Amino acid sequence: MFAKLNTDGSCVNGRCGGGGILRNALGQVIMAFTINLGEGTSSWAEAMSMLHGMQICIQRGVNMIIGETDSILLAKAITKSWSIPWRMYIPVKKIQKIVEEHGFTINHCLREANQPADKLASISLSTDANQVFNSYANLPSLVKGLVNLDRMNLPTFISKRTKDANLIFEPP
């Protein structure tokens, strides 16, 4: 079975979590997860999320995997294009071993293309429990909406709140 795994890590004030979503060739959800990772860095959380997702795929017998991450650092480290930062060394080495043994492919994707995984990673920070969603119906509603947008090939945008600069502009 061919499938695509999108993962993402999140780190706020040193507390890390991750999430991922596995979909078949038609874009249908096979499963999704959130994982509480404890203390660490954002790059380590990215690597741990990818490793956890790949391990779930192996456990479920999903063999033809394309993995996507919005971390160019992680993607380049896994493909041996860049050296591995020491904080990510152990999980990246484990990922590389899985890639070699199972023929998985790891690609970089833009953050906008990774929104369901990003939302799952954010959700992981609000709970201490790891979660597995075994179907689309079990997904949190915000993630369902992002999955639907993906399946319809509609773009998602990242909104960013700007800070008021307290500048006063008085035209002449």
d(CA 112, CA 115): 6
Q: What is the pLDDT of residue 63?
A: 79
pLDDT tens-digit series, residues 151-161: 776 666 555 56
Q: What is the pLDDT of residue 128?
A: 87
Share of the chain above pLDDT 90, in %: 75
d(CA 172, CA 169): 10
The mean pLDDT of 138-150, rounded to a whole number, is 90
- For β-strands 15-24 and 105-108, DSSP reports them as unpaired
- May I ask the CATH architecture of the domain 2-151? 2-Layer Sandwich (3.30)
Tell me the pTM: 0.87
Q: What is the pLDDT of residue 124?
A: 96
Q: Report the sign of the C-alpha dihedral through residues 86, 99, 17, 146, in that order.
A: positive
- Given a cut of 90, whether residue 117 has pLDDT beyond it is yes
Q: What is the pLDDT of residue 2?
A: 82
Where in the chain are the domains?
A: 2-151
pLDDT band of residue 65 (cuts 50, 70, 90) is confident
Average pLDDT, the chain: 90
Q: What is the pLDDT of residue 33?
A: 98
**Residue partners of 133: CB distance under 8 A and separation at least 6:** 29, 31, 32, 33, 139, 140
